[in-house]
Structure 1
Amino acid sequence: MAVRPVIVGVCGGVAAGKNLFTRSLLSRLRSRGRSVEEVDMITANTIKDNQMDCYVMRGMTLFTDQPRNFFDLKIFLDVDADIRLTRILSTATTFDEMRRILTRYQSLTRPYHIQAVLKQRPLADICFNGSFQEKDVDSTSLRILQLMKNGKNKIEEEPDDDDYTRSL
């Protein structure tokens, strides 16, 4: 009988750290001998059984763009707007570029975050408030390994909320 791989979604706003969290999570799982791969929304629809132990997808509105039961674990990175804006602005090399970034942020990025991205938070299984830490990647990778070992709906011991949801 073919076992469907664990599918994990990492969601959050622009500059919330989705890319870094995903890379860290993939690295942690690979270091434990698991076959894992990052996929995009188009590739995710063609996932075949037994190719990988786990697939990780990241995006801003994953949990409403895909059927919610598509993911075995849904993670939301909730980072304050001022921190995200600072990260975005740090890429600017000129004053004009900074002005363009601010204009885009005010007219598009912030309204989209409020209207669409924040709706993902209550749909998540795990929410990290603020910048994530290595212990957050560790606890998430352990939870994924447990899903792989025990089946998607069988968690041996329900974790405390404090283990997976943290405020800075």
Structure 2
Amino acid sequence: MAAKPIIIGVAGGTGSGKTTVAKEIFHQFNEQSIVLIEQDAYYKDQAHLSFEERLLTNYDHPLAFDNDLLLDHLKMLQEGMGIEKPVYDYANHTRSSEVLSIAPKDVIILEGILILEDDRLRDLMDIKLFVDADADIRIIRRLVRDVQDRGRSIESIIEQYISVVRPMHLQFIEPTKRYADVIVPEGGQNQVAIDLIVTKIRAIIEEKAIL
């Protein structure tokens, strides 16, 4: 690689559309070397805890993430080294024994609810995005996702949202808006914002002489 990779951070609350935005950007650069890194893959290993103890994990708190490992991996990718990205097992509430081998790329999209909360991660980013959506839209999206993809009951999702997700969003996620270079309303539906961001990324790529 001719230069250090560009790192684009895509943050936002649960159900905001940040994953959709990240994937839309990703697909715009298919002709280039690009990788998507999800902060969710870096939830801390909880193998040392009992299953009952793991069930008490607050996944919306900054301390749930192994940002030290994520930071090390991002720096390795910047230096042209491959990484073994962890895989999180949501059924067992701990890190899986599997890993994904990721080769260094020219563009890295880092996506997650709290990537802008850690100043060490922010300092690595060339562009910082915060994807915004109304709270009612976000809870509906979370309901659909957790029922369909994670086999959870509606009652448990609502209880978790009220007791954990909403207060954590207000305390830790919403305040990170101030660190964003661009706030993207309406998430993945905002094609104008996505097109503008892609144009900016291409300009940075050309400036860094990656192409």
Check if 1:122 corresponds to 2:120: no
Matching residue within 187, 194, 198 for 1:131: 187
Q: Does residue 201 of structure 2 align to residue 144 of structure 1?
A: yes
The runs of at least 4 consecutive aligned structure 1 residues that moved more than 6 Å come to: none
The structure-2 alpha-carbon separation of the partners of 1:73 and 1:66, relative to structure 1 and needing over 3 Å to count, comes to same
Aligned match of 1:158: none
**Residue 108 (structure 2) pairs with residue 55 (structure 1):** yes
Shift of 1:120: 1.2
1:13-24 map, 5 Å: 13-24=13-24
CA distance in 2, matches of 1:115, 1:82: 18
Give how far 1:40 is off: 4.2
Q: Which letter does structure 2 place at the counterpart of 1:113?
A: H
Contact 2:18 2:187 in 1 (8 A): no
* Aligned-partner Cα distance in 2 for 1:151–1:48: 13
CA distance in 2 between partners of 1:36 and 1:2 (Å): 14
Question: SS of the residue aligned with 1:90?
Answer: helix
Deviations 1:118-149 (A, max 9, x none): 11101000101223422222111111011111
CA distance in 2, matches of 1:144, 1:15: 24
TM-score between both structures, scaled by the size of structure 2: 0.64
CA contact (8 A) 1:37 1:54 kept: yes
Query: Whose relative contact order is higher, 1 or 2, with alpha carbons under 8 Å and at least 6 apart?
Result: 2
Distance in structure 1 (CA, Å) of the matches to 2:170 and 2:78 = 35
1:111 matched to 2:167: yes
- Kindly indicate whether the alpha-carbon contact (under 8 Å) linking 1:39 and 1:56 is maintained by their aligned counterparts in 2: yes
**Cα pair 1:17 1:131 within 8 Å, conserved:** yes
Q: Which residue of 1 aligns with 2:56?
A: none
- Structure 1 residue ranges without an equivalent (≥5): 153-168
Q: In the aligned structure 1, how far is the partner of 2:184 from the partner of 2:193?
A: 8
Deviation at residue 78 of structure 1 after TM alignment: 1.0
Question: How many residues matched?
Answer: 148
Alignment of 1:74 with 2:104, yes or no, is no
CA distance in 2, matches of 1:66, 1:35: 26
Identity %: 25
Q: CA-atom RMSD, angstroms?
A: 2.2
Counterpart position of 2:7: 7
> Are residue 44 (structure 1) and residue 42 (structure 2) matched?
no
Preserved contact between residue 77 and residue 105 of structure 2 (Cα < 8 Å): no
Superposed displacement of residue 100, structure 1:
1.1
Any stretches of 5+ residues in structure 2 without a counterpart?
Answer: 40-69, 81-103
Distance 2:3 2:22 in 1: 23
Q: Which amino acid aligns with 1:110?
A: R
TM-score by length of 1: 0.79
Q: Report deviation, 1:61.
A: 1.1
